[in-house]
Amino acid sequence: MLIRPIAKRNGVTVTIVAALFIFSSIISLLTISADSDNALYFPLSAGALMIGICLLIVGVVKINDMYYRFSLTKEGLHYFTSRGGFTILWQDIQRIDIPKINDGLALKELPYIGIRLKQREHLINSASLPTLSHMLLEQRALIMLTDPSSSLYGNADNMLYPDVKVTHNYHGLQAMFINRMQYLHNTLGYDIYFPNDDLDRAPAEFVQLLREFKTDCPRSS
């Protein structure tokens, strides 16, 4: 089963809106005369043009991103990015849910899907180094949610956890990614996180979908 991210579909909408902004602002700039009565419209039109260009860049980036974000098979969950991907085996998954943080006296859902792993080796070994770098950058926002101090945010990738249990020795980006996983495991309860923009449906429905695939896996327990 292939999952097309909702952000991909939004890319077309953003591009169309950007084109309308650019077209209307250019027409406006061409028709504005040098009269003082129209002097206010020039900066407004120029601002609309800049907004349109920015939206166009965002839309093109979204459209050129991977057409599918996930592939769900009997083996596991396969994740794709423009820099590569990785695989999470169903039997390696302990829990799938929406992570939450304390917000006063209530619990607030984060805009992510969280997966708690029994073991991490297959994920790490199947992931390309550019993919790990991409995930480290994407998940820095989660560090700010767990502790908004700038020092933690700046040093998040350098934190060491000597009690991380792996069957191989890891270095460089792989070690940094394991350290990040361990920190988020200790603070939010999950090892890997996928933003809601990567999904094709409501987060609760996607969680249920993954749980059903995991249940149907013959070797999952």
Contact 18, 212 (CB under 8 A): no
User: Apex CA 139: angle with CA 128 and CA 117, to 5°?
Assistant: 70
Model confidence pLDDT, tens digit, residues 17-36: 777 777 777 777 677 654 54
Model confidence pLDDT, tens digit, residues 36-86: 455 566 667 777 777 877 767 766 666 555 566 788 988 899 988 877 889
Q: Report pLDDT for 148.
A: 57
Q: What is the DSSP string of the chain?
A: -EE--HHHHHHHHHHHHHHHHHHHHHHHHHH--S-GGGTTHHHHHHHHHHHHHHHHHHHHHHHHS-S-SEEE-SSEEEEEETTEEEEEEGGGEEEEE--EEEETTEEEE-SEEEEEES--HHHHHHS-HHHHHHHHHHTHHHHHHH---HHHHHHGGG---TT---SS---HHHHHHHHHHHHHHHHTS-SEEEEGGG-SS-HHHHHHHHHHHHHH-TT--
Q: Report pLDDT for 197.
A: 83
Is the whole-model pTM more than 0.75? no
Per-residue pLDDT band for 106 (boundaries 50, 70, 90) equals confident
Per-residue pLDDT band for 149 (boundaries 50, 70, 90) equals low
Q: Report pLDDT for 112.
A: 92
Average pLDDT over residues 87-99: 93
Q: Report pLDDT for 193.
A: 94
Average pLDDT over residues 165-169: 60
Q: For residues 59 and 20, what is the distance between their CA atoms, to the nearest angstrom?
A: 13
Per-residue pLDDT band for 205 (boundaries 50, 70, 90) equals very high
Confidence check: pLDDT of 200 > 80: yes
Stated length of the chain: 221
Contact 41, 32 (CB under 8 A): yes
Amino acid letter, 157: D
Comparing 145 with 63, which gets the higher pLDDT? 145
Q: Report pLDDT for 33.
A: 54
